Amino acid sequence: MKRKFLGYLSFCLICLLLITSCTKKEKIYTIGICEFVDSPTDKECELGFIQAFIDEEIIQDKDVKFIILNAHGDFPTANSIAHNFISKKVDLICSIDTPCLQACMNATSTIPVVFTSIANPILAGAGESYTDHLPNVTGVSVASPIKQTISLIKQMLPETKVIGTVWVPSELNSEFYMKIQKEEAEKVGLTTIAIPINATSEMHDAAMILVSKKIDVFYQISDNLTNLAFEAEVKVANEAQIPIFCNQFSEVKRGATIGLGWDFYDAGYEAGKLAIRIMRGEKPQDIPFQSMKESKLTINLEAAEIQGLNITEDILEKAAEVIE
């Protein structure tokens, strides 16, 4: 009788263990995505980041969960988002744009942070070099190919003497690009006029000031605020018949004539691949910062006609994309 009872007890214990193991859910790896502005480039980064997981057959809401929050251009909100992710105990943070990276670095030194859409991670405070950096931070730099763009301007418009841009003093990456643009332009005998703005509503007037100063070309540097207000610059350029060069594909689609730069979807995708490596056990401190390697040329033929720029066949042949 005792033996039967023990056998029955063992059977019950085994059943209980089986039920428990079947009903127990594995922890879903949670990733917080912090975006600074609601812009085409941020969205492209986000989509590329998530696609990297899809391609690795990491299933959303089963293997991984994404919490996507946007600061809508507000620095205190970016800080709040970073702390929100900490309170939710996310496993990793993807920071898109420099303000979000800085907010996340200030908020945590333990949760892995993978950045993308960052012009200069060293200037942002993420490390001393691409290999000597904060132990919880890694990511993908997307520094614009400014020297190459100025060379392209000289090639296509050899009579150019003055280029104009709008920049944002409150954005670290904008100031960085503005200074590099001035330095590279000066090396080839060009003058740069840069007009600062602090709100999207100021973009139109800033572009008008550049036209009044007799610029030959708009070469719009990349930052969050001017990207949001880009159509205002396009309107002025169209009316004045001054071509716009830029470093963002999304801005070419929105009315710039020439764009030489990186695909932000690809930048997000590469950051996603780094996040997957961390998810699978690698440490951020062992992963050097990465840079986008291959710039692409995009041409908007309709914008070229409106802004008075003749696109020769040799330039067209180099384009990765031509918008009719």
Domains of the chain: 29-143+263-291 (3.40.50.2300), 146-262+296-323 (3.40.50.2300)
Chain segment 8-59, per-residue pLDDT in tens = 544 444 444 444 444 445 689 999 999 999 888 899 999 999 999 999 999 9
Chain segment 117-138, per-residue pLDDT in tens = 999 999 999 999 999 999 999 9
Is a pLDDT exceeding 60 seen at residue 1? no
Chain segment 223-254, per-residue pLDDT in tens = 989 999 999 999 999 999 999 999 988 899 99
Chain segment 268-308, per-residue pLDDT in tens = 999 999 999 999 999 999 999 999 988 899 999 999 999 99
CA–CA distance, 23 with 66 (Å, rounded to integer)? 23
CA-wise closest residue to 101 among 127, 78, 84: 78
CA–CA distance, 288 with 300 (Å, rounded to integer)? 36
- Chain mean position to CA 70: 13
* Higher per-residue confidence, 294 vs 184: 184
What pTM was estimated for this model as a whole? 0.82
115, β-bridge pairs: 95, 139
pLDDT at 27: 83
275 vs 33, 60, 129, 141, CA distance in Å? 11, 14, 20, 15
Chain segment 60-98, per-residue pLDDT in tens = 999 999 999 999 999 999 999 999 999 999 999 999 999
Chain segment 185-227, per-residue pLDDT in tens = 999 999 999 999 999 999 999 999 999 999 999 999 999 899 9
pLDDT at 41: 87
